[in-house]
Chains A and B, each alone.
Chain A
C-alpha cells in the first residue's frame, strides 16, 4: 500500500486533524496508520496542534463598539456630506484618473505629430526678401560699372588720394 500522505501531501493530515475528511477517507487513513508510524505520529501531532488552538478563548467585544462605529460614520457624513448630493458622480470617481490619462495621451499625440502642430511663422520667411534686395543691389552696381557710371564713393576716395 502506498503512503497517501506522500501521494497527496500534508493536506490529508491537515484535514484529518481538522476532522473534515469524509468517513471513508478517514477510515482508510487510519488503516494506513496501523502500518506507517511516520504518518501516525504526524497525524497525532496535527491533532494536538488543533486541540491546543482550541484553548484560545475569544475576546468579549466592548459594549460600546457599535456606538463608536456609528459615531465615526456620522463624522464621515459631516465631513463629506456634500458627496451625498452627487451620489452618482461620486460613484464615478474611479473614472477621473482614466479621463486624465486620456487627456494626457491626446496632448502627447498632438505635440509629437508635426502635421498636427499649430503653424508658427518660420524665421526664414522674413529673411528671404532681404537677401533678394542685397542681390538686386549688387546686380545694379555691376550694371552701372559696366555702363561706365562712377560710384560717387569711389570718386571721393580718388580725390582724397590726389
Chain B
C-alpha cells in the first residue's frame, strides 16, 4: 500500500455486494467484462473496443488529477498496458470500469506523491492557454469573456490542485465520471463512509474557494 492507503497492485477489487447464494442465477456479464474475457482468450479486436470506449474518460480523469497533458497520456498508456498485461488473470468478478479506474487512480496518486517531492517549477500557464483556446474555438467571445473564463478556469484548477490527492480523486470520479459512492469506494479501496467523508471535506474546501464565482 502507498501513503494514501491505496492498494498498489492491479488486483481486481473484491465484490462485497455480490450474491453468495448459489441458488440464485448470477447476473449476466456486463459488456466490458465480456470483451475483457475475449481479450483473455487472445482477441485483440476486443481490446481495441475497450480502448476506444474508455480511452477518453481515463485520459481526462488523469489529466484533471495531474493537470499535465503529456503526463496524463503517459499514465493512461500505462493504465491500458497494465490492463492488457493482466488479461491472463482477469476474472469478471467486478465491474470493469472499477478495475480500470483503480489502476488509473493508483498511477495518478503515485505520480502526485512523487511529484510533490520534487521542485514545483513548472507553470500551468501553457496548458491553461491551450484549454481556453479549445473551449472558445467555435465561438467568438469578447476579450473580456476570454479573460474572465481564463481566470475562472485557473481558479478551478488551483482549487482542485490544492485538495489532498485522495480527496481530489474522489471529487473527480464523483463529478466527472458520475460514479456512485460504492464504486468510488471500490476504486479507492476504502469504505463508503470514508468516501462520504472524503467528498464532504473536499466540497467544503471547494465551496470556500469557488462559491463566489457564481
Instruction: Report chain A residues within 8 Å CB of B134.
Output: 57, 59-60
Tally A residues with Cβ within 8 Å of B: 36
Tell me if B84 is interfacial: C-beta within 8 Å of chain A: yes
- Which residue from chain A places its CB closest to the CB of B47 in the assembled complex? A73
Kindly identify which residue among A48, A52, A76 contacts B85, using a CB–CB cutoff of 8 Å.
A76
Contact across chains for A45 and B56 when beta carbons are under 8 A apart: no
Instruction: Report chain B residues within 8 Å CB of A59.
Output: 59-60, 63, 69, 72, 130-131, 134
Instruction: Report chain A residues within 8 Å CB of B214.
Output: 44, 47-48, 51-52
Tell me if A66 is interfacial: C-beta within 8 Å of chain B: yes
Tell me if A162 is interfacial: C-beta within 8 Å of chain B: no
- B196 → chain A, closest Cβ, in Å? 6
Tell me if A62 is interfacial: C-beta within 8 Å of chain B: yes
Contact across chains for A10 and B210 when beta carbons are under 8 A apart: no
Contact across chains for A52 and B152 when beta carbons are under 8 A apart: yes
Instruction: Report chain B residues within 8 Å CB of A17.
Output: 203
- Which residue from chain A places its CB closest to the CB of B157 in the assembled complex? A56
Contact across chains for B60 and A73 when beta carbons are under 8 A apart: no
Residues of A within 8 A of B (CB): 9-11, 14, 17-18, 42, 44-53, 55-62, 65-66, 68-69, 72-73, 76, 87, 90-91, 94
Are A49 and B135 CB-contacts (below 8 A) given A44-B214, A87-B88? no
Contact across chains for B211 and A48 when beta carbons are under 8 A apart: yes
Q: How far is the CA of A9 from the CA of B84 in the complex (A)?
A: 41
Q: How far is the CA of A50 from the CA of B48 in the complex (A)?
A: 34
- Which residue from chain A places its CB closest to the CB of B208 in the assembled complex? A45
Contact across chains for B84 and A73 when beta carbons are under 8 A apart: yes
- A75 → chain B, closest Cβ, in Å? 10
- Which residue from chain A places its CB closest to the CB of B204 in the assembled complex? A10
- A57 → chain B, closest Cβ, in Å? 5
- B68 → chain A, closest Cβ, in Å? 10
What would be 14 A-B contacts, judged by CB atoms less than 8 Å apart?
A10-B204, A44-B214, A48-B211, A48-B212, A49-B207, A49-B210, A52-B156, A55-B149, A57-B153, A61-B55, A61-B73, A72-B81, A87-B88, A91-B88
